[in-house]
Structure 1
Amino acid sequence: MGSRIECTLNKFADDTKLCGVVDTLEGRDAIQRDLDRLERLGDEGIESSPEEKDLGVLIDEKLNMSRQCALAAQKANHVLGCIKRGVTSRSREVILPLYSTLVRPHLEYCIQLWGPQYKTDIDLFEQVQRRSR
C-alpha cells in the first residue's frame, strides 16, 4: 500500500492515516495525488466527511476548530455546573482546586492543535472562566 506514496502513511489496526504539510499548493497536490493512488488500490472508495474526530479532537473539512471549541466549553460548563450543585462552599480555596482538576482539562486537552482561533471561540472559554467565579 505504501509504494509510490509521497507523504507519510501511518497504518493502524483498522485505520490508515495520510499525513503531510499543506502550507503550499505543492503540499496540497502531493496529498491529493496520494489520496488518488490509495483510492485506486481498494475495492471501496474513500469516504468524504464534513468533520472527523481524531484523538478526541473534532476537525471539519476546512480545518476549522470552532465546533471543537464549542464542545470543550460545553463539557467544561457541564462539569462546572456539577461542582456548583454539589459543593456548598464558594471559597476560592475550595473552588480553585476543583476547577483546576475537573474543568481545565476539558478546555486544555490537545490545545496546541486546536486552540481557539476566532474571537467567538475565545469568548466561549472566557465565559466558562467567568462562570467559575
Structure 2
Amino acid sequence: MKFNKGKYRVLHLGRNNPKHQYRLGVDLLASSSAEKDLGVLVGNKLSMSQKCALVAKKANGILGCIKKSVASRSREVILPICSALVRQGDGTSGVLCPGLGSPV
C-alpha cells in the first residue's frame, strides 16, 4: 500500500526546534503550524488559546441563532433552550453543545 504524501504534515513543537525538513521517499513533507486530530486543534505552541477561540466563536454563533429565532426574551423561555444546549460536566462548568446531545 502506498502512502498519500499530500495528507502528511510535519508539526514542529517547542521553542528551540531547529525545524528540520523531513522526506517521505524523495518528496519533502509540508510543515504546518497547527493540525486537527480527533477534533482537537494542536498547535506548535501547544496552547489552548486557538481551541478556546474556536469554541467561543461556535458558542456565540449558537447564542446568536437563539436570539434571532426566539421572540420572547423572558427567563422562562430562554433558560430551557440554553439549558438544552449546555452539557454539565462535573457541576462547575458547562460545555455548549451545537446540536442536542453532541458535545463540543
Q: TM-score, normalised by structure 1?
A: 0.44
**CA-atom RMSD, angstroms?**
3.3
Higher strand share: 2
What is the CA-CA distance between 1:58 and the residue it aligns to? 1.7
1:105 equivalent in alignment to 2:70: no
Separation in 1, partners of 2:23, 2:53: 37
Task: Provide Cα deviations, 1:28-62, integer angstroms capped at 9, x if missing partner.
Answer: xxxxxxxxxxx566343333211111223222111
- Sequence identity percentage: 56
Separation in 2, partners of 1:43, 1:99: 53
Q: TM-score, normalised by structure 2?
A: 0.54
Q: Structure 1 regions of 5+ residues with no counterpart? A: 1-13, 17-38, 110-133
Q: Structure 2 regions of 5+ residues with no counterpart? A: 1-5, 9-21, 87-95
**How many equivalent pairs are there?**
78
1:72 equivalent in alignment to 2:55: yes
1:47 equivalent in alignment to 2:30: yes
Q: Does structure 2 conserve the Cα–Cα contact (< 8 Å) formed by 1:79 and 1:102?
A: no
Q: Which has the higher contact order (CA 8 A, sep 6+)?
A: 1
Provide the residue aligned with 1:62 in structure 2.
45
